[in-house]
Each structure stands twice: as C-alpha cells, then as structure tokens.
Structure 1
Amino acid sequence: MHALIAAPFGATNVILRPGSPKAIKVGAARFAQIRAAVTENALIPGWLADAADTQWGLALHGHAANGSILVRSPGPYHISRATYEVNLGCDYDCVMCYLGEKRFEGLDMAGKRRLLEVMAEAGVIWLQMTGGEPLIDPDFPEAYRYAHELGMQLEVLSNGSRLHKDHILELLVELPPSKLSLSVYGATSGTYDAVTRNRGAFDRFATGLEKAVSAGLNIDLSLIITRENAHEAPAMRAWAQELGVASREYANISPTIHGTAEPLPSQSPEYLTQRAPFRGCPAGHTFFHADPFGRASICKVGREPNIDLVAEGVEGLARLGEIADSLMLRTGGCSGCKLSGTCRVCRPMAKILQEAKAPLNTYCQHGTR
C-alpha cells in the first residue's frame, strides 16, 4: 500500500498522504525527481522523507520510492475533483430527502471499476463517494478500495447507519478517508427515528459514531435541521462538541433532483440562512458529478445534459465545460433580471426551485421586496 501520492495539480504538484487532508506542494524539478526515484527503484529523496516526517510523522528515510509513492499522471483537462453517487438507494426514508423516490440501481462492479479508471485518467485527485447511502451498497468496499489503489483521496458522505458494522469500520480504519462526513438528524432516539422514519436508527448511528471517533477517523458532522428536529439543534451542537469533532449546519432544504417540492415543507423557517452572492462556480471545469450509472454532469443539481463516461471514456469530458457554461445562462423568469449581480442562487438550483414552485422569498430577492 502506498504511503504517499504524488500528483500534478494545475500549475504545480502536490504530495498527499492517503487519509489526510494535508498536502505538500512541490515544483516541477522535485516532482521529476520523485518520478525518477520510483522508476529507477531508488530511495525516497531525503528532502521528501524530511517533509513527510514533519507533515505526517512518517518515517520514510531509507525506504524505496517504488511501492511507497504512487505517482499520478496528469489528466487531459483541468479536472481535479469529482463526486460519485454510488447509488440512489437508502435505508432511511427522510421526508426532506432531495432524492425523491429512492431506487437502488446502478452499475455492476465491473462498471464501477471502469468508471473509477476513467476518473483517475481524467486527473481526479479528490473523490467524494456519496449516495443515496453509499455504505449499504454491497460493492462499496471493493469500489472504495479500488479508488484508493488508483491514487484518489477519498471523502465519504454517509448517514452513518452502517458504521457499527465491523467490516465497514475495519475498512475505513485500514484505508482512512480524508474526511468522513456524517449527517445527523436529531439528538434523541425519538426525534432521530421520526425524521429518518426508521426505528432504531438513532441507536445504530450513535454506536457507529462513537466507534468511528474512537478509531481516530477524521469526522465532520452535518447537522440537518428541519421542522421536526429544530428543537434539538442546541443538543445536536452540544453532542458534536462533546465528541470533539467538527460540525456544520444545513437548514436550506432543496427540491428533489426531479424538480418536485415534497421536501420543502420540512424547512425550519427560523433556521434558514441567506446564501452568499453567487460569484461563479468551477462545476464542469475543474469538477464533475457522476451518477450511479456513470453519467457525468456538472454537479448533482445540474444533471442534464450529461455524458456517459463508461461508454465514452475520458474523451467525453471534453464537452463538459461547454455544457457548464450553457447551464449557467439565465433563462425563463431570471432572464434580464436587474438584480442578477447580487443573486444568491446558481442557475441550475434556481431552475429546480422554479420547477418545484418554491416560495419566491426562499431563493430570490424579488420575493423580499
């Protein structure tokens, strides 16, 4: 198993430690030195061993570069990040879920491997694995392990319902994600189970969370605040503080990916936050989203048009930038808006909010004037 990843990143290069969010930047000459050491089966350069010791406490002096360092090749585009929606199934049935109907379907393992290979060839360094609920997918352990072997830094977005399972926790301890982002739906079993509509969900989540914290995984809690659990928001915050893990709050509920409004009534009005003015987005240019069938889109909101990466391979991504630019054009009710310079919502999100007939004041300044 490689201890370090050396990867081209834009105009520079980065040295990464699997499972760590930290990075070391190096210039072209030192990157070439690393590549030569791996190719020639030489020792890890002293300067890199020193840096790894300082940054991660790794003892690599005297180690062979080949086998210790995985050197990534540059991709043909400027893409370095992606999300992979492993499936659209879930073991919870939250009323505010943006997926709408949750159907457990997607690529078989051969297709997943092909998709991950295309992502690596495209230059993806940081990969976020999500769902649905990724940990319930029977292929997740193999897909996660393969993405690691390809030299991608992995983040997992999960509801944490399977962390109490030994084989899942053991995998994540053996190959730690750079971040494990877990959604929290309440601070008591009554509220948590009611929001997720899953009896016993809170106890399973709490058990898994405690195990993951004890194992030293880098955890970030997403506190999902709705009408049903808003009264426990202070307790949810206190829980995160007691565990000593980072947390952030999410209260602005989105329509479903199909543009329907079922989740919107779950919003807790007193917790809604005002988004910062939209100043552009790298979606489709340095980042893309892949759905369970391997269809690449600019993000999980702007899903159409998309590109079949399994069929087309990395060449298909050459069209993604043009797709992104076309989706950011203001159309319909937003065309010619005089307040567009301070708009707080991107066009793809505005489109599904409009399709869902969301209250104007939840996403548009015209609704508050």
Structure 2
Amino acid sequence: MRFVHPLVALARALVAAPRLLSVRPSLNAFLAGYFRKFPVSEVGGRLILHSHLPPIDSPAYARFVRLHLVERRQAPSHAQVAVTAACPQRCLVCYNRDRQGVALDPLELRRVVSGLVESGVVWLGLTGGEPLLRPDLPDLVALARGRCAVKLFTTGMGVTKELARSLRNAGLFSVSVSIDHWDAVIHDRGRGFPGAWRHAVEAVKDFLEAGGLHVGISAVLPREMICRTDVIERVLAFAQELGVDELWLSEAKPAVASLFDEKLVLAEDERRAIADWQDRWNDRVRRAGRGVILNYLGHFEGAEHFGCNAGRKMIYVDPFGEVSPCVFTPFSLGNVRERPLADLVADMWRRFPTEGRCFMNRNWPLVAAASGGRLPLTRDASLAMLSKVRFGPPSAFNRRYFGT
C-alpha cells in the first residue's frame, strides 16, 4: 500500500467517473470535505479511501456516482449477504446467532446477489457464518465483479493461499479478518473457539501474500474498551505489526438480547469522541505518509457524515433469505422465497427515511419489548415495533441528498 496525493486521486477519480461533474454542488462539496479526512491509498492498482466505499477510480464507484448521486435511484447502494450460517466459532456478540431456518440453496443465493446488483447495489459485503466454508465463494464474488465492489468479512477459518488468490482473481477488493484483541487468550474466549486468534493471524498473512487485496482487521469492542483511546491505539499498533491496511472498528451493537442494556450501549457523545479521535489519527497517518487507516463505523454513520441508512441505502439478507435493514437489526421485513426481492427493497425504502444516529443504538428498547425473549422478530412483530419508532433528523449528507 502507498498513499497518493489528493490532487492525483481527484484526477483519477474524475477520469473513472466523469459524471461527478454532474453531481449537485452541495453534495460534491460535502464529499470533498469527507474525503479529506482519509489518506488515499493505492492497493492493487485502485485508489481506496476505506473499505466501506468502492475504490474511487473503479467502475463500481462510477456506477455509484451515476445511479445514486446523479440519477438518485430509490434503492440501496450497499448490501450485505450472509452466504452461510455455518461457523465453527460461537462469538458472544454474533448478530446471526439467533437466526435459523432453511438455508438458501446455491441458485437462490446467486439470484439474491444478482438481484441486489441489478437494484443498484455498488458495494457488497459477503458475511456469514463463515463465508470461507462455501466452495463456490469465488463464483459469488465473480457474479458481482465490475459493477460492484465486493468485501469479505471472515474469521479467517478455512482460508488457504490458493483460495486467497482465487478470491483476488474473482474480483474481491477488500477483506476484513475479525480479530477483537491483540491477546490470543482474550480473543479466543470471546469467540468460543480455542485457536481462533491463531487462525485469524495466519489468514491475514495468506491474504497479504496473495497481493492486490486491500486487507484489514475488524475489531468489535465492548463499550468499556472502545471508549478508551489507549485501547484503540493498542489495537492499531497490533494492526501495524500485522502489516494490514486498515482497522475496521465498531462498538458491540445491541443486536442480541445479551446486549439489551443501556449500560452496554454506546452514548452519542461517546461515539462522537471516537469519531473525532479517528480524524486526528488519520491526519497523523497522512502527515507521516505511512500507518494503518482507522475506519470506525460510527464515523461513517454519524450525523455529521452519512448517518444511519439502514433499510434505505443499506440492506441485509440473512442465510435463510430473511431481509433486514442491516446486519445489526434483529428483525425481518420478509423472505425472498415469499416476496420478490425488488418488492422487499421498495417496502424497506418506504419504511426507513434514514436518520442521523444508529437505528439499533436508539431503538433497541423497542426491539427488546417486542421480542418476548425471541429474536429475530417476525415480519408482523417487526411492523408493530416500527409503528412505534420515531425517526430522528437526517444526517448532514442526507439533508443535502434529499433536500431536507
């Protein structure tokens, strides 16, 4: 990885996506300010701001500009698909732990991926379970190649050097290996699997050795840890030791019943403090010309940036075909076996206007009350719960995007 001068990055982005010049000036001004908060890195011949956006000189980014910034399509730009429920680990905060049903077969899964891309998705996260357990994973990546930037979320279990190269050749642009702690014992305890840390570290090495992949680690930290900058710095130092490009960071979301407790849910002022600290860290990395980029989810989805777009610009399909606003929302608006995906996408768009704060961080008490101790919520229970939700004001970006 090397960093690229911002003017060079802008020139290359304009060549790849000339319709940027047709974007509403207020949106372009906002995006320019946001982009300045990250060093632009070049990996595999592509310019990457961070792993939650397509490379800014890629066909997928040009498609994002055309469909979502110029044509303003009423459809998601981002989606995640759990390609399997199988996983040898039993993570304490896994958002899929309570989901069950009959898994989508290979043809159904291909239809879901194709349908999401056709709807306008330009960034696709493949998750699980453990997606590396699927022998057809490279084929699923290739299905979206070109039109979509594909990122893999993995524990690292099941990877080989050959599979890492196969995924790169299929068109994978980024991979995030879950490592929640620099201490193997603590990580393994949270994963419910002895040796989880060792497998993850070896996977990082295999993905880096494949070349041409944007490689990061992802850390999901409890409130008492993520609010400490010394802890974040220690995770960043560990990421630097591994030689990765990015640390993807999030607090543990109240997506499972064990986290339905206000003492465990991050407060808004705490989120903002972490986001501000990220800006200072990434500025240091830019000035030094080297280092690991910090990509905190709460920075991206903060009210000062893009806000929570769950159900509108983000959508999630679980291993059994249930469709949710995002991976952290333990409720369903329907199943792709029972309703066309396009109808579910349109339904979600109508029900979720976006807001400046994370839906679950704000509304977990409503989900908890509706659950009766059972998650995820059925469609009927989800609709009843949603009737009580009062969405907050939109984010800075969405005020400009939707003209509110």
In 1, distance between residues paired with 2:174 and 2:326? 20
- What is the alpha-carbon distance in structure 1 between the residues aligned to residue 116 and residue 190 of structure 2? 35
Query: Does 2:363 correspond to 1:298?
Result: no
Q: CA RMSD in A?
A: 4.7
Once residues 156 and 181 of structure 1 are traced to their aligned partners in structure 2, the CA distance between those partners, rounded to angstroms, is 6
SS in 2 for 1:308: coil
* Residue number in structure 2 paired with 1:124: 121
Q: Paired residue for 1:182?
A: 177
The answer on 1:156 being equivalent to 2:148 is no
Match of 2:139, as an amino acid? E
Give the alignment partner of residue 108 of structure 1, picking from 102, 105, 118: 105
Quote the sequence identity (%): 21
Equivalent residue number for residue 324 of structure 1: 352
1:348–1:168 CA distance, 2 compared to 1 (3 A) = farther
Q: What is the CA-CA distance between 1:125 and the residue it aligns to?
A: 1.4
| Aligned counterparts of 1:324 and 1:57: Cα–Cα separation in 2 | 33
CA distance in 2, matches of 1:264, 1:104: 28
Q: What's the counterpart of residue 250 of structure 1?
A: 250
Q: Which residue of 1 aligns with 2:239?
A: 240
Deviations 1:80-124 (A, max 9, x none): 221112233322112233333475852000101111221122111
Q: Does 1:133 align with 2:130?
A: yes
| Deviation string, structure 1 residues 253-311 (Cα, Å, up to 9, x no partner) | 4241xxx2268799699x99823475753332323222223333322344545143454
- Please name the residue that 1:43 is paired with: none
Per the alignment, residue 274 of structure 1 pairs with 270
In the alignment, structure 1 residue 170 sits paired with structure 2 residue 165:
yes
Letter of the aligned partner of 1:134 in structure 2? P
What letter is aligned with 1:245? D
Alignment of 1:312 with 2:308, yes or no, is no
What amino acid maps onto 1:299 in structure 2? C
Contact 2:260 2:364 in 1 (8 A): no
TM-score (norm 1): 0.61
- What is the letter of the counterpart of residue 238 of structure 2? W
SS in 2 for 1:275: helix
Shift of 1:146: 1.9
CA shift, 1:157, in A, is 1.4
| 8 Å CA contact 2:265, 2:361 repeated in 1 | no
Indicate conservation of the 8 Å contact 1:89/1:105, yes or no. no
Q: Which moved more, 1:204-213 or 1:346-355?
A: 346-355
Q: Matched residue of 2:17: which SS?
A: strand
Amino acid at match of 2:340: E
Gap regions ≥5 residues in structure 1: 1-16, 31-54, 59-68, 329-340, 358-369
1:115-143 deviation line (CA, Å, top 9, x unaligned)? 12211221111111112222223443332
Q: Which residue in the other structure is 2:366 paired with?
A: 351
Q: Which moved more, 1:342-351 or 1:88-97?
A: 342-351
When residues 244 and 284 of structure 1 are mapped into structure 2, their CA distance, relative to the original with a 3 A threshold, is closer
Within 1, Cα distance between the matches of 2:323 and 2:179?
28
CA distance in 1, matches of 2:107, 2:156: 26
Distance in 2 (alpha carbons) for counterparts of 1:203 and 1:121 = 39
Matches within 5 A, 1:41-80: 56=45, 77-80=74-77
* SS of aligned partner of 2:176: strand
Question: Structure 1 counterpart of 2:150, which letter?
Answer: L
Return closer, same or farther for 1:183/1:172 CA change in 2, 3 Å cut-off: same
Q: Which amino acid aligns with 2:79?
A: A
Q: Judging changes above 3 Å, is the alpha-carbon distance between structure 1 residues 263 and 100 closer, same or farther for their aligned structure 2 residues? A: farther
Question: Which amino acid in the other structure matches residue 289 of structure 1?
Answer: Y
Q: Does 1:24 align with 2:27?
A: no
Taking the aligned partners of 2:215 and 2:233, their CA distance within structure 1 comes to: 19
